[in-house]
Amino acid sequence: MKHNQFEHAVASILETEKRFEPGAYFLVRETLDFTVDRLSKESNGDKRHVSGSELLFGFRDYLVQEYGPMSATLLHDWGITKCRHVGEIVFLFIKNGVFGRQDSDTLDDFDEVFTFEEAFTAPFLAA
């Protein structure tokens, strides 16, 4: 999807959806790209469907890499405070034709694969 089409889709979602800040949608898109790229490298360049849990682990790794100890604050400020919120954004994208899905994909795939405390706070606490 071209950048302008993506921005239009986000604007359309934001007309009715107020739970998450605009940056949250762009962040989830960035983490999908990050995850697809990583999985593609692991499978000799083959691109494939990304599962909910794979996306969540990519989300975690991307945030820690890019935002480090500020990850938890950023996510809180944008309204993403648990794994299911990432799934809710993904399913808003699916509903708006931004992402595709397989019949087996459900929102429950995003149910608390990890806690945000263990993913975004604990790694940065002094031992």
Q: What is the pLDDT of residues 63-91, one digit of tens each?
A: 999 999 999 999 999 999 999 999 999 99
Convert the pLDDT of each residue in 11-55 to its tens digit.
Answer: 999 999 999 999 999 999 999 999 999 998 887 777 778 999 999
pLDDT at 126 over 80: no
DSSP assignment of 49-80: ---HHHHHHHHHHHHHHHHGGGHHHHHHHHT-
**In which band, very low, low, confident or very high, does the pLDDT at 56 lie, cut at 50, 70 and 90?**
very high
pLDDT at 3 over 80: no
How far apart, in whole angstroms, are the C-alpha atoms of residue 86 and residue 68? 18
